Structure 1
Amino acid sequence: MTISHTPEDVSVQPRHMHFDVSEDLKTWWHGNDAFRTAFFNALSLQFPDGEQQFINAVRHYRDQIDDPKLKEEIRGFIGQEGLHSREHRHYNEALKARGYEIDTLDARFQKHMQWVGSLPRDRQLAGTCAAEHYTAVLANAILRHPEWMAGASPQMQLLWRWHAIEETEHKSVAFDVYRHCVGNERLRRIVFVFVTYNFFKYTLINTCSLLKTDGKLWSLRTWLGGLNFLWGRPGVLRRCLPDFLAYFRKGFHPWQQDNRDLLSQNLAELDGGVSSA
């Protein structure tokens, strides 16, 4: 029986890429804008430990999957997330070298992830599905609206595009495992609420800490520009909100947002960017 609902023309395979962003991270790499730079850096701080937890949650159920297609996609998912974790660990080490209080932020988030890892397996997998939904929606936005990364350094644009492409490719792997092995729709929605709270909580904490180090935490101009970026124009989070909330729909599946056209376009541009780098 086929369990996977990843389209046949979407391949979940890791790309062994490396990005040296140490020089970029010595600057406000996103258009010399303190808030935009801090926001994306704050997201990066959650990835190494978060994505390792995603891998662990899916591995708990891997032996219960008989569908050869989904088994292969699980291998690809683990490979992609492992490489994302590696690259963002290097990214975060470069932030630490610049003088940000990364150890304090890491310790706080690691404590949270240790708690997540102690939960029953079905809740861990439900949490992974919820977090993967956030990364998939944000990935779609980055791919669909390249102007949102306008002004970012070329290497950082490449890194975030690569990450967005692979998050899109594997966006339903954990979800398909959950639906087959757990299938509790009520639990899926409840856990999403808690993941939503924690996702925005740690993103805000990290952003504020980075801005504090930059001397911009109490800058009204910085926050007005940041709020406009997230909720005004272009309104990154505002425009993602309907897609975030789609997770509550009865019968929801990640590939109901069919963005294979974006994958094809961005894969070609990624290959071009790598060959010219």
Structure 2
Amino acid sequence: MTISSTPKGVSVTPRHLRFDLADDLKTLWHGNDAFRTAFFNALSLQFPDGEQQFINAVRLYRDQVDDPKLKEEIRGFIGQEALHSREHKHYNEALKARGYDIDAIDERFRKHMEWVGNLPPSRQLAGTCGAEHYTAVLANAILQHPEWMEGATPGMARLWRWHAIEETEHKSVAFDVYRHCVGNERLRRIVFLFVTWNFFKYTFLNTCSLLKADGKLWSPGTWIGGMNFLWGKPGVLRKCLPDFLAYFREGFHPWQQDNRDLIDKNLNELELEQSAR
């Protein structure tokens, strides 16, 4: 019986890329804009511990999966997430070297992840599905709207594109494991509410911590520009909102947003960028 819903032409394949971003991260790398830089850095700060938790949650059910295709995709998922975690650890260490109190920020989020890791396996996996939905929607937006990264240094733009491609490739893996091994639609939706609260809570807190260190926390201009970026024009979160909310639909599945064309286009461009370096 085939459980995997990853469509034809999509391969969940880890790419062993490395990014030397120490010099980029000494700067306001996103167009010299304090808010945009802090927002993306705030997302990065959640990835090492968050993605390790995703791996742990899927591993709890791996032995219950007998579909060879999905088993192979689980291996790919774990490989991709492990590499993302590695590169974002380097990213976050560079932020620490710049002078940010990353240890305090990490401790705040790590306590939450330790709490998540003590939940029943079904809730851990449901939480992983919800968090993977957020990363998949944001990944799609980054691939679909390259102008949102306009002004970013080439190295940072390349890292976020690589991460977005692989998040898109494996966006249904945890979901397929959940649907096969747990299958509780009510639990899936309820846990998504908690994931939503925590995703926005820690992104906001991390952004504020970074802006405070930059002396921009109480700058009206910084916040006006930031709110315009997220909710006005280009409206990063505003344009993602319908896709975020699609998770509540009955019969929802990640590949209902079929963006294989975006994977192919961006993967070709990424490979060209890598070969030109």
| TM-score of Structure 1 vs Structure 2, range by shorter chain | over 0.9
Matched, 1:217 2:235: no
Query: Which structure 2 residues correspond to residues 113-262 of structure 1 after superposition, within 5 A?
Result: 113-262=113-262
**1:237-266 per-position Cα deviation (integer Å, ceiling 9, x unaligned):** 000000000000000000000000000000
**1:95-124 per-position Cα deviation (integer Å, ceiling 9, x unaligned):** 000000100000010000000000000000
Query: Which structure 2 residues correspond to residues 73-88 of structure 1 after superposition, within 5 A?
Result: 73-88=73-88
What amino acid sits opposite 1:61 in the alignment? Y
Task: Return the offset for 1:8.
Answer: 1.8
CA distance in 1, matches of 2:177, 2:210: 36
Tell me what 1:109 maps to: 109
Gaps of 5+ in 2: none
CA distance in 1, matches of 2:96, 2:199: 21
**1:26-51 per-position Cα deviation (integer Å, ceiling 9, x unaligned):** 00000000000000000000000000
Task: Return the offset for 1:87.
Answer: 0.2
**1:106-146 per-position Cα deviation (integer Å, ceiling 9, x unaligned):** 00100000000000000000000000000000000000000
CA distance in 1, matches of 2:113, 2:21: 26
Gaps of 5+ in 1: none
Percentage of identical aligned residues:
81
What amino acid sits opposite 2:236 in the alignment? V
RMSD between aligned residues = 0.3
Task: Return the offset for 1:276.
Answer: 1.1
What amino acid sits opposite 1:119 in the alignment? L
What amino acid sits opposite 1:165 in the alignment? I
Tell me what 2:31 maps to: 31
CA distance in 1, matches of 2:273, 2:55: 29
CA distance in 1, matches of 2:275, 2:187: 45
**1:189-246 per-position Cα deviation (integer Å, ceiling 9, x unaligned):** 0000000000000000000000000000000000000000000000000000000000
CA distance in 1, matches of 2:223, 2:273: 33
Q: How many residues align?
A: 277
CA distance in 2, matches of 1:109, 1:75: 26
SS of residue paired to 1:129: helix
Tell me what 2:68 maps to: 68
TM-score (norm 2): 1.00
Task: Return the offset for 1:9.
Answer: 0.7
TM-score (norm 1): 1.00
What amino acid sits opposite 1:144 in the alignment? Q
CA distance in 2, matches of 1:213, 1:185: 42
